[in-house]
Structure 1
Amino acid sequence: MFRVLWNGKSAMLANQEKLDSISNNLANVGTTGYKRVDVSFKDLMQESLDKQGYPINDKTAYTGTGVRTSSWVRDDSQGQLQETKKSSDLALDGEGYFRVKQADGSVAYSRDGSFKVDSNGNLVDAKGNFLDVEYAAGYNKDTVALQDKISSDNFTIDKQGTITLKDSNKVVGQVPVYTAVGNDAFTSVGESLYVPKAGAQVVKSTNVDVLQGYVENANVDMGKEFADMIVTQRAFQLGSKAITTADEMWGMINNLKSR
């Protein structure tokens, strides 16, 4: 009886975590560059029950002790690219991440290319983080003349990430794109930002195009998320039903003993 209660409890906890991931995905369906998350399940330790004394062939039965989530898994597949015609909006078609510098000086990586140009000619995201740009030799954005600074619509960025001023055809620099060696090398820190895990190696990506005037939408399929929600809610209810049934059976047994 205890096993039924425990299995029901573990099923409810695991499916609640699955529901949390679905809710997170649906809440971020409109977030630029967001990558959906899922959870993977694993069986808890199994016990071997040796059924001795049976008149047939000796068999060993296995019984599980529940289920739990083993990890949250991020889906890094590319979302749909949407044209905005805004010069400072960038999207990555292929593998890789933009690198941004945060207020505390640390760096993070993101697929969110919704940038804008600040008063100093920097490309910044909605949180004020600076897009990493490798400036051309001899170009100093802090000392160049006003006409040579990046403004909202005086520059172009080609597929290689090269930034060129429209009027003078002067190359300002390049937007580098980075990727990590190995799967699951980045960990999310929120706000569509990622940092490499300890020991992860980050290198420049070559299998990618930088597209100006586009952004990458979240890779969330609402139809799939709602279908998963229905299935997961049903599984949660079954776990709850198992606990209720076990409690009723326990009550019946106690009543029998009292007679």
Structure 2
Amino acid sequence: MLRSMITASNTMNQLQKQIDHISHNLANTDTTGYKAKNTSFSELVRQQIEQVNEKNNEVAESRKTPPGLRVGVGAVLTDQLTHKQGSIKETGRELDIALTSPYQYFQVDVDGEVQYTRDGAFYLAPAAGNADQLQLVTKEGHPVLDENGNAIRFNQRYKNFQIDGSGTVTVSSGNQNEAPLSFSLGIAQAVKPQALAEAGSNLFSVRDDLRDTALINLNGAGRQDVSIKQGFLESSNVDVSKEMSDLISSQRSYQMNSRAISMGDQMMGLINSVR
């Protein structure tokens, strides 16, 4: 009874984590560029219990199970980011940029640390320390970086934007006497996607010791692999019907394990009441 209660309680703890993941996915159904987390279960380590030998050989042979009795102690949850491409929706806004190839991410500066996002809804904001300049930022105000890791800044006279499919941003002032300026958006390709860790606000971070092996900066010849559409945004890749069916299944499993604990408690109460 104690073993069954421990198994059920361990599994309930993991089921609660699955429900939390599902809730997070559903809450971000309309979040631009959001990547859902899929969950799966595997069995915790099992214990091998051998039948006790009896002095009476006949009784021992009748009771002993040759391979022994293998008893588990519950289930453990594993989660994994799903990098499947989300649907592309047209907005017509010139600073909305959608990455149309999976595993590619924009690079942004978050308090001096390079982080990554699929959310291409960008804006213009005054550059810090220079009122005459504008810089390209995310909706949270984080500077968007170019291929050299620098913030994209230019004089506020430049207001006309054009972004090609390889991520080259061209800005012009409309004055024929001023040459247009060009910047290449910083794009990184994740070759080890599971090294990306959620950092909040639809951003991902990578540990410094994994950065060189988990990501490739698409510079130089690598720019031909960049795939971008201006005036579009990528929707989240959350499959609402799948999440709802997983939620129902996990709730039923949680209920079943809860009943197992209740039944074990009742049986222990009966045993303790025997005089």
- Give the TM-score band, short-chain normalised: 0.7 to 0.9
2:267 counterpart letter in structure 1: M
Match of 1:80 among 87, 93, 99: 87
> Which position in structure 1 is the counterpart of 2:140?
127
Q: Distance in 2 between matches of 1:229 and 1:185?
A: 27
Shift of 1:141: 4.4
Contact persistence 2:107–2:114 (CA under 8 A): yes
Match of 2:260 among 237, 242, 252: 242
Shift of 1:10: 0.9
5+ unaligned residues in a row in structure 1: which ranges? none
Contact persistence 2:50–2:68 (CA under 8 A): yes
5+ unaligned residues in a row in structure 2: which ranges? 54-59, 127-132
Q: CA RMSD in A?
A: 2.1
Q: Distance in 2 between matches of 1:57 and 1:47?
A: 15
Question: 5 Å matches for 1:1-80?
Answer: 1-51=1-51, 52=53, 53-55=60-62, 58-69=66-77, 71-80=78-87
2:11 counterpart letter in structure 1: A
Match of 1:186 among 179, 186, 196: 196
**Higher percent of residues as helix:** 2
Do residues 176 (structure 1) and 186 (structure 2) align? yes
Question: 5 Å matches for 1:98-113?
Answer: 98-102=106-110, 104-113=111-120
> Which position in structure 2 is the counterpart of 1:233?
251
Count matched residues: 245
Contact persistence 1:88–1:123 (CA under 8 A): no
1:243 counterpart letter in structure 2: I
String of CA shifts for 1:209-237, please: whole Å, max 9, x gaps: 01111111111111111110000000000
Match of 1:157 among 160, 163, 170: 163
Q: Distance in 1 between matches of 2:252 and 2:6?
A: 18
What TM-score comes out, normalization by structure 1 length? 0.87
Contact persistence 2:147–2:217 (CA under 8 A): no
String of CA shifts for 1:115-135, please: whole Å, max 9, x gaps: 112243321111101111248
Contact persistence 2:4–2:260 (CA under 8 A): yes
Identity of counterpart residues, as a percentage? 31
**CA 1:141–1:98 in 2, change beyond 3 Å: closer, same or farther?**
closer
What TM-score comes out, normalization by structure 2 length? 0.82
String of CA shifts for 1:58-91, please: whole Å, max 9, x gaps: 222211011222x332111111111111000111
2:146 counterpart letter in structure 1: V
Q: Distance in 1 between matches of 2:197 and 2:17?
A: 18
**CA 1:43–1:57 in 2, change beyond 3 Å: closer, same or farther?**
closer
Contact persistence 1:163–1:174 (CA under 8 A): yes
Contact persistence 1:8–1:242 (CA under 8 A): yes
Shift of 1:247: 1.0
> Which position in structure 2 is the counterpart of 1:117?
124
1:24 counterpart letter in structure 2: H
